[in-house]
Homo-oligomer: A and B are copies of this chain.
Amino acid sequence: MKATEIPERMSSRGRRLTRQRVLVAEALASAKRALSAQELYERIKTSHPTLGRATVYRALEAQVQDGMASRFERDGHVSAYIACDAEHHHHLVCTRCQRVLDLDETVVAPLLSSVGRRHEFQVDHAALDFYGLCRRCRRKRP
Interface size class of A (residues with CB under 8 A): 35 or more
Knowing A71-B76, A73-B73, A111-B107 are in contact, say whether A125-B121 is a contact too (CB < 8 A): no
Nearest B residue to A121, CB-CB? B92
Q: Determine whether the beta carbon of B138 is less than 8 Å from that of A130.
A: no
Q: Determine whether the beta carbon of B121 is less than 8 Å from that of A135.
A: yes
Report the separation of the CA atoms of residues A71 and B77 in the bound assembly, to the nearest whole angstrom. 11
Query: Is A3 an interface residue, CB under 8 A from the partner?
Result: no
Query: Is A54 an interface residue, CB under 8 A from the partner?
Result: no
Chain B residues whose C-beta falls within 8 Å of the C-beta of A132 in the assembled complex: 116, 121-125
Q: Determine whether the beta carbon of B101 is less than 8 Å from that of A121.
A: yes
Q: Which of B92, B103, B119, B130 contacts A101 (CB 8 A)?
A: B119
Report the separation of the CA atoms of residues A103 and B125 in the bound assembly, to the nearest whole angstrom. 15
Chain B residues whose C-beta falls within 8 Å of the C-beta of A126 in the assembled complex: 128-131
Interface positions of A from 89 to 132, Cβ below 8 Å from B: 92, 94-95, 101, 103-104, 107, 111-112, 114-116, 118-132
Q: A123: shortest Cβ distance to chain B, in Å? A: 4
Q: Determine whether the beta carbon of B77 is less than 8 Å from that of A79.
A: yes
Chain B residues whose C-beta falls within 8 Å of the C-beta of A107 in the assembled complex: 111, 114-115, 118
Q: A88: shortest Cβ distance to chain B, in Å? A: 12
Q: Determine whether the beta carbon of B115 is less than 8 Å from that of A124.
A: no
